[in-house]
């Protein structure tokens, strides 16, 4: 066993119904840390970039980091790495809860799943005893019912990651749900799992995680816990209102995308805000394993149409099923969130695709007869019905399950899909937050807010306040945030902790856990290496730099309302400098000098 890393990988061949335990490549681990970075390294070494995402040759990797399962700063994350069926890029979808730590307690750093089972199966893992079990009786069940059944028949304390009907029905943005309410949400990782006839991975572990320097680790934990308890975002905003604290903040800034980005403010935002959620449906807060923030919302809908308990909705969901669709019905949004959890769907793409369908209907491309219902902006019942049909793979839900780019392209107007690299935007208008425009355009997995959260300095003023409309200096900020995020995703830490702690604290954790003596600069260089490795895979997959762009709406159509009326995304003012700072050519290709410097040259 290596400190921090267990040094063990579980490799499962579903085609042959065999499994084996092999040694982790520790040389790679020390270059790519773990989680997102190490999982991507294994994927790029073993899966040709041109592989069909739904082919048996594609692999699905569950990767933890060296800090996953330790204590201190919400150190309980894992990443699902594969080639994305939604985008064709490398996918690395992050989730928390308790499943990631349980995988570590069972003695594994990663699971590599290859091949395809002839019929539905699921993995049973009890420490290092593994069984590929029949899952025919689980096929068709929701994520909630699947977890309940597995815990009854396998182990009452097992932690379960599974797909719902959306993954089975090959919805392009199906996710992997663990602990019922946490999800590896974006890029369609659940679709890959469904294509392999793998229903679930159930884990029970009774071991632990060894760190190299317990005293130094305790000190790092104390410092980080103190900083998180002192910072207004992690000590006040997120515990009080969850991520939905952003609804009013972003709307007031003029960057709340409304009616499929046709406007930048939503006049009924207060009705779907975090404050309103607290007043209506919130029951209590909840945190992932070892978390001092507890940002999750345990909720219950009391409405004549629905009466149900669950978790959420988070800010992105409130936006995608709310403002993006012109809907101010918090009960319907909460119900839509529950449906996505139960069927196993990414809430951002799900709601955004419904919003795209509503604009297609508004402009006459989709008819009421084709959809089976009117699809007017503001129709909450239609939104909920479409999500249910999508999860079940029925009716017009089959088209919604394609994602907004394929949906809009099928009517000849892909420009009405608010995507980059075929992945839907999150809840921030790049015309109003210029750094986010650059982040969206350059993100290695398509439009994303958690690959470099420029909202933090541009809107929240963390670590310092930047003018959201300025473009000068944004390339450097974006690169720094992207590299640091790659480190955080690879180490096994929750990204939300970075409001309160920074690279120095993460470096202390990493060194104490692994026995390394890295500087902050070396750790960030690993983030740069991970970013470039992802870029190289995408280039080989045919995702060329021409896709580092935004929809015409953001580049050419000024915001029509709000305090930022008249603004467009000024991507052209930032992208050349970004390429230069990355050490790439003017065309956006990593140079030989850059690749040699990072140890990526062949």
Residue 304 has pLDDT above 90, yes or no: no
Asked whether residue 513 is domain-assigned, the answer is no
**285 shares its domain with 340:** yes
Rounded mean pLDDT of the chain? 96
**Listed residues 424, 458, 484: the one ending a domain:** 424
**462 shares its domain with 348:** no
CATH code, 267: 1.10.569.10
**186 shares its domain with 325:** no
**Listed residues 153, 188, 204: the one ending a domain:** 204
pLDDT bin (cut points 50, 70, 90) of residue 595 is: very high
Residue 307 has pLDDT above 90, yes or no: no
- 415-425 as b/e, with b when 16 or more CB fall inside 10 Å? ebbbbbbbbbb
The Cα 353–Cα 345 span in angstroms is: 12
Asked whether residue 209 is domain-assigned, the answer is no
Cut 0.95: pTM above it:
yes
**172 shares its domain with 45:** yes
Residue 114 has pLDDT above 90, yes or no: yes
Q: Residue 177's beta-bridge partner residues?
A: 162, 183
CA 369 to the chain's CA centroid: 35
Number of separate domains in the chain: 3
Asked whether residue 468 is domain-assigned, the answer is yes
**447 shares its domain with 329:** no
137: which residues sit within 8 A by CB, 6+ positions away?
Answer: 149
The Cα 161–Cα 183 span in angstroms is: 9
The Cα 481–Cα 489 span in angstroms is: 12
Asked whether residue 514 is domain-assigned, the answer is no
Residue length of the chain: 602
The Cα 387–Cα 133 span in angstroms is: 31
Domain housing 328: 239-424
Residue 72 has pLDDT above 90, yes or no: no
**Interval 224-252 mean pLDDT:** 94
The Cα 513–Cα 101 span in angstroms is: 15
247: which residues sit within 8 A by CB, 6+ positions away?
Answer: 256, 269, 272, 273, 274, 315, 318, 319
**439 shares its domain with 350:** no
| pLDDT value of residue 52 | 98
Which helix (DSSP H) or strand (DSSP E) does residue 284 occupy?
strand 282-286
Asked whether residue 504 is domain-assigned, the answer is no
- Give me Rg for the CA atoms of the chain: 22
**349 shares its domain with 458:** no
Taking Cα atoms as reference points, which of 396, 395, 329 lies closest to residue 358? Answer: 396
**Listed residues 359, 392, 424: the one ending a domain:** 424
Q: CA dihedral in degrees (300, 283, 98, 291; nearest 10)?
A: 150
| pLDDT value of residue 432 | 96
222: which residues sit within 8 A by CB, 6+ positions away?
Answer: none
Placement of tokens 């690299």 in the chain: 421
Contact of 115 with 46, CB cutoff 8 Å: no
Asked whether residue 46 is domain-assigned, the answer is yes
Complete DSSP assignment for 170-221: T-TTB-EEETTTEEE-STTHHHHHHHTTEEEEEEE-------S-HHHHHHHH
| pLDDT value of residue 302 | 85
- 63-97 as b/e, with b when 16 or more CB fall inside 10 Å? bbbbbbbbbbbbbbbbbbbbbbbbbbbbbbbbbbb
Strands 110-114 and 60-64: antiparallel
Local structure of 323: helix, strand or coil: helix
Long-range contacts of 175-178 (CB under 8 A, 24+ apart): 175/93, 175/344, 175/345, 175/346, 176/80, 176/93, 176/95, 176/344, 177/143, 177/341, 177/344, 178/95, 178/97, 178/98, 178/99, 178/100
Task: Give the max Cα distance, the chain.
Answer: 67
DSSP assignment, residue 360? Answer: H
Residue 162 has pLDDT above 60, yes or no: yes
The Cα 521–Cα 135 span in angstroms is: 47
The Cα 570–Cα 35 span in angstroms is: 33
Taking Cα atoms as reference points, which of 248, 243, 247, 257 lies closest to residue 356? Answer: 257
**Interval 4-23 mean pLDDT:** 97
**Interval 420-445 mean pLDDT:** 98
Taking Cα atoms as reference points, which of 297, 304, 303 lies closest to residue 282? Answer: 297
Residue 519 has pLDDT above 80, yes or no: yes
The Cα 277–Cα 409 span in angstroms is: 36
The Cα 315–Cα 292 span in angstroms is: 20
pLDDT in tens, 116-136: 999 999 999 999 999 999 999
Query: Cis omega before residue 486 (within 30°)?
Result: no
**457 shares its domain with 334:** no
Asked whether residue 579 is domain-assigned, the answer is yes
**52 shares its domain with 183:** yes
The Cα 156–Cα 204 span in angstroms is: 9
Taking Cα atoms as reference points, which of 218, 119, 111, 226 lies closest to residue 168? Answer: 119
561: which residues sit within 8 A by CB, 6+ positions away?
Answer: 254, 263, 264, 265
Residue 298 has pLDDT above 80, yes or no: yes
Taking Cα atoms as reference points, which of 42, 37, 49, 58 lies closest to residue 10? Answer: 42
Residue 1 has pLDDT above 70, yes or no: no
Which percentage of the chain shows pLDDT scores above 70? 100
Local structure of 384: helix, strand or coil: helix
Asked whether residue 226 is domain-assigned, the answer is no
| pLDDT value of residue 294 | 86
**392 shares its domain with 460:** no
pLDDT in tens, 170-216: 999 999 999 999 999 999 999 999 999 999 999 999 999 999 999 99
Residue 409 has pLDDT above 70, yes or no: yes
Placement of tokens 């790092």 in the chain: 220
Which helix (DSSP H) or strand (DSSP E) does residue 145 occupy?
helix 143-153
Local structure of 550: helix, strand or coil: coil
| pLDDT value of residue 290 | 81
Between helix 575-582 and helix 434-442 the angle, nearest 10°, is: 60
**61 shares its domain with 157:** yes
CA 529 to the chain's CA centroid: 20
Taking Cα atoms as reference points, which of 339, 408, 333, 398 lies closest to residue 371? Answer: 398
CATH code, 533: 1.10.599.10
The Cα 244–Cα 536 span in angstroms is: 36
CATH code, 37: 3.60.9.10
The Cα 291–Cα 58 span in angstroms is: 34
pLDDT in tens, 546-555: 999 999 999 9
Structural tokens at position 430: 């790049």
In 97-162, DSSP assigns E strands to: 110-114, 121-126, 129-134, 159-162
DSSP assignment, residue 584? Answer: B
| pLDDT value of residue 53 | 98
Between helix 474-491 and helix 35-46 the angle, nearest 10°, is: 90
**329 shares its domain with 477:** no
């Amino acid at each position: 066993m290596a400190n921090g890393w267990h040094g063990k990988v579980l490799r499962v061949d579903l085609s042959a119904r065999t499994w084996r335990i092999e040694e982790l490549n520790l040389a790679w681990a020390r270059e790519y840390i773990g989680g997102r970075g190490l999982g991507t390294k294994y994927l790029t070494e073993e899966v040709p970039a041109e592989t069909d995402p739904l082919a048996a040759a594609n692999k699905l990797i569950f990767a933890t980091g060296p800090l996953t399962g330790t204590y201190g700063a919400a150190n309980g994350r894992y990443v699902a790495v594969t080639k994305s069926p939604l985008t064709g890029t490398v996918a690395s979808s992050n989730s928390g809860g308790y499943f990631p730590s349980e995988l570590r307690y069972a003695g594994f750093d990663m699971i590599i799943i290859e091949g395809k089972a002839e019929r539905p199966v699921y993995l049973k893992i009890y420490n290092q005893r593994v069984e590929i079990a029949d899952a025919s009786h689980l096929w068709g069940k929701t994520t909630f019912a699947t977890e309940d059944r597995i815990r009854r028949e396998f182990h009452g304390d097992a932690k379960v990651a599974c797909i719902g009907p959306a993954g089975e029905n090959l919805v392009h943005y199906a996710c992997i749900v663990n602990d019922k309410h946490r999800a590896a949400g974006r890029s369609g990782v659940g679709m890959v799992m469904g294509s392999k006839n793998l229903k679930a991975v159930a884990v029970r572990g009774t071991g632990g995680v060894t760190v190299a320097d317990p005293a130094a680790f305790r000190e790092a934990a104390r410092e980080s816990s103190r900083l998180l308890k002192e910072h207004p975002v992690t000590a006040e905003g997120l515990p009080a209102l969850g991520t939905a604290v952003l609804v009013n903040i972003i709307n007031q800034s003029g960057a709340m995308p409304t009616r499929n980005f046709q406007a930048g403010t939503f006049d009924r935002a207060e009705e779907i805000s975090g404050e309103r959620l607290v007043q209506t449906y919130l029951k209590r807060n909840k945190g992932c394993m070892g978390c001092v923030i507890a940002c999750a919302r345990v909720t219950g809908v009391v409405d004549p149409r629905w009466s149900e308990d669950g978790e959420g909705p988070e800010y992105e969901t409130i936006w995608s099923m709310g403002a993006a669709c012109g809907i101010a019905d918090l009960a319907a949004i909460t119900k839509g969130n529950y449906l996505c959890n139960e069927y196993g769907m990414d809430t951002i793409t799900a709601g955004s695709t419904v919003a795209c369908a509503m604009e297609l209907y508004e402009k006459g491309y989709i008819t009421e007869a084709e959809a089976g219902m009117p699809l007017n902006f503001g129709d909450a019942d239609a939104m909920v019905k479409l999500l249910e049909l999508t999860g079940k793979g029925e009716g017009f839900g089959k088209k919604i399950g394609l994602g907004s780019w394929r949906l809009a392209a099928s009517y000849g107007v892909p420009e009405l899909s608010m995507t980059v690299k075929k992945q839907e935007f999150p809840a921030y208008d790049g015309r109003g937050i210029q750094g986010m425009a650059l982040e969206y355009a350059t993100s290695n997995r398509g439009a994303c807010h958690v690959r470099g959260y420029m909202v933090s300095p541009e809107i929240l003023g963390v670590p310092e306040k930047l003018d959201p409309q300025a473009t000068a200096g944004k390339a450097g900020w974006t690169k720094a945030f992207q590299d640091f995020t790659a480190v955080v995703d690879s180490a096994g830490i929750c990204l939300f902790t970075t409001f309160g702690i920074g690279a120095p604290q993460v470096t202390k954790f990493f060194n104490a856990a692994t026995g390394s003596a890295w500087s902050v600069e070396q750790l960030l260089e690993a983030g740069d290496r991970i970013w470039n490795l992802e870029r190289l895979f995408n280039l080989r997959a045919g995702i060329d730099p021409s896709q580092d762009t935004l929809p015409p709406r953001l580049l050419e159509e000024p915001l029509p309302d709000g305090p930022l009326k008249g603004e467009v995304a000024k991507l052209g003012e930032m992208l050349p400098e970004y390429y230069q700072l990355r050490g790439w050519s003017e065309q956006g290709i990593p140079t030989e000098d850059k690749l040699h410097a990072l140890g990526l040259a062949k």
